[in-house]
Amino acid sequence: MSILVFGKTGQLARELALQGEVTCLGRDQADLSDPAACAAVLLQLRPTAVINAAAYTAVDKAEEDEALARVVNGDTPGALARACAALDIPFVHVSTDYVFDGSGDAPWRESDPVAPLNAYGRSKLAGEEAVRAAGGRYAILRTSWVVSAHGNNFIKTMLRLGAERDRLTIVADQIGAPTPARDIARTCLQVARQLAEDPSKAGIYHYAGAPQTSWAGFAREIFARSDLACEVEDIPSAAYPTPAPRPLNSRLDCALLETVFGIARPDWRQGLDAILKDLEIAT
């Protein structure tokens, strides 16, 4: 397959590039703030599948810049999905647990009502709606807490702070699961290939790591596996206010993806070991 990836420097795009078999487009080739131009590039290159791995991901900044977030995360995915539908090729779009309001403690299913708490979540929901409206061979993959050896993420922040301090206060009432970008990349490729063979598999799916944990629990695991003697104190979200409210319940029910595509949830602890090894090599 000739797979075109929108995105080049983000965590997911970099992992997709490492998988091979893809062509990644950076901002200089496809500016996601220009939906029509992105669709034109897609139609010109005429790939056999497309993965949208680029997004406006600055959650707090989006509170002040919702218009741009809405274009990048909403309008452009819609334009790409319509172009893919016109070519009758698979379009895989990555979304987020932030489309939910984070209430309760049950894992969210694909059919549950959406009600984003912040501007970022609203922009990602707009993208989902636009992709669905375009029809075609689409798959929307909602995921959570993306981590890798690339860019800025929770693992790298904890490694830095854990080496500098003896004790950290970490939010413990937000529950979800880290998801290694490498596993998301492999899943996107599998989904694209299967959609090419069977368009009836189009729809929304959830994909996140296992088992469930809190940010505090995740931090403890990072320190334990990297031999950092940093103590973690649990705190509530109210003690660490942010411009954009975060959902307390980010649990995702991933059974449908396994049933339809045969793709099981990854163990994020194994992914964490791989990331720590990658970071050792990088240093």
pLDDT tens for each residue of 238-248: 999 899 999 99
Q: What is the mean pLDDT of the chain?
A: 95
pLDDT of residue 34: 95
CA distances from 103 to 98, 100, 155, 204, 272 (A): 11, 8, 26, 20, 28
pLDDT at 281 > cutoff 90: no
pLDDT at 147 > cutoff 70: yes
- pLDDT tier at 93, thresholds 50, 70, 90: very high
Which sign, positive or negative, has the C-alpha torsion 102, 146, 93, 151? positive
- pLDDT tier at 219, thresholds 50, 70, 90: very high
pLDDT tens, residue by residue, 110-132: 999 999 999 999 999 999 999 99
pLDDT of residue 282: 57
pLDDT of residue 170: 96
Token pair of 133, please?
Answer: 């409206």
What does the alpha-carbon distance between residue 175 and residue 107 come to, in Å, rounded to a whole number? 10
More confident residue, 153 or 186: 186
pLDDT at 103 > cutoff 90: yes
- pLDDT tier at 21, thresholds 50, 70, 90: confident
What does the alpha-carbon distance between residue 163 and residue 181 come to, in Å, rounded to a whole number? 24
Sorted by where each starts, the structural domains of the chain and their CATH numbers stand as: 3-215+223-282 (3.40.50.720)
Backbone dihedral angles phi then psi of residue 227, each to the nearest 5 degrees = 55, 40
- pLDDT tier at 33, thresholds 50, 70, 90: very high
Name 26's bridge partners. none
pLDDT of residue 28: 87
What is the pLDDT averaged over residues 4-20? 92
The pTM score is: 0.94
Residue among 234, 213, 225, 226 nearest 167 (CA): 234
What is the pLDDT averaged over residues 60-84? 97
- pLDDT tier at 20, thresholds 50, 70, 90: confident
pLDDT of residue 27: 86
Top mean-pLDDT range of 28-32, 56-60, 255-259: 255-259
What does the alpha-carbon distance between residue 117 and residue 69 come to, in Å, rounded to a whole number? 15
pLDDT tens, residue by residue, 220-233: 999 999 999 999 99
Catalytic residue among 120, 138, 205, 207: 120
Between CA 273 and CA 168, with CA 223 as vertex, the angle to 5 degrees is 145
Is 98 annotated in the active site?
no
pLDDT of residue 152: 84
**Burial class for 260, CB neighbours closer than 10 Å (0-12, 13-18, 19+):** middle
pLDDT of residue 47: 96
Token pair of 110, please?
Answer: 């694909």
pLDDT of residue 151: 85
